[in-house]
């Protein structure tokens, strides 16, 4: 497992357009999300960093339902990492009760267009689908009981209030994307 930090893609960057299959059996596109904020999370099944935060991510999706859309995108190579296959994604989404669409980026084009490098990698867009935040979920990926700063939640609140992006943004930490 190679620990990576997310790249700090320039704020204001446009969200990559996408149309991807979801584990729910439908195709999802960028234009299906109409809330004031959109959180795109590049994630997967096998990464211990994702596994450590996915309950918090699911709770966040529930808390902001109707105000901030959340979408998970798995871009890992399923040939080298079968735990990240589309069928395994379905199983995990059911088991965890994901409150957000979980999409398969089999060709890895969306991850590349976003500038994603690790899982999890968080990209928060405003109503114009311009990047407002890229960075970590909070200040303790390993232990939710020791979180003192909820950076992503603060950023979502800022987008919903029409505020400028947070001045200090810390990169997310996670496993490298398993490129083909």
Which residues neighbour 136 within 8 Å (Cβ) at sequence distance 6 or greater? 6, 122, 151, 152, 170, 171, 172, 173
172 is a domain residue: yes
CATH number at residue 125: 3.40.30.10
What pTM does this model have?
0.96
80 is a domain residue: yes
Q: What is the pLDDT of residue 11?
A: 95
68 is a domain residue: yes
**Counted domains in the chain:** 1
Beta carbons of 174 and 1 less than 8 angstroms apart = no
Q: Which tens digits make up the pLDDT trace of 32-75?
A: 999 999 999 999 999 999 999 999 999 999 999 999 999 999 99
17 is a domain residue: no
Residue identified by tokens 């596994």 is: 51
49 is a domain residue: yes
Q: What is the pLDDT of residue 4?
A: 74
Q: Which domain holds residue 130?
A: 3-8+31-176
Q: Which tens digits make up the pLDDT trace of 88-120?
A: 999 999 999 999 999 999 999 999 999 999 999
């Amino acid at each position: 497992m190679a620990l990576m930090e997310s790249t700090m893609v320039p704020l204001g960057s446009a969200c990559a357009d996408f149309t991807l299959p979801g584990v729910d059996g439908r195709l999802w596109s960028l234009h299906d999300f109409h809330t004031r904020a959109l959180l795109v999370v590049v994630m997967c099944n096998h990464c211990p960093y994702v596994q450590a935060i996915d309950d918090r991510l699911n709770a966040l999706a529930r808390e902001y339902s109707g105000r901030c859309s959340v979408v998970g995108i798995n871009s890992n190579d399923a040939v080298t990492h079968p735990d990240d296959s589309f069928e395994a994604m379905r199983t995990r989404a059911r088991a965890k009760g994901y409150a957000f669409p979980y999409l398969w980026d089999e060709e890895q084009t969306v991850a590349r267009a976003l500038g994603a490098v690790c899982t999890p990698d968080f990209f928060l867009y405003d109503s114009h689908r311009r990047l407002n935040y890229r960075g970590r979920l909070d200040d303790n990926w390993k232990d939710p009981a020791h979180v003192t700063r909820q950076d992503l939640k603060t950023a979502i609140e800022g987008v919903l209030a029409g505020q400028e992006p947070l001045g200090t943004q810390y990169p997310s930490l996670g496993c490298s994307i398993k490129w083909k």
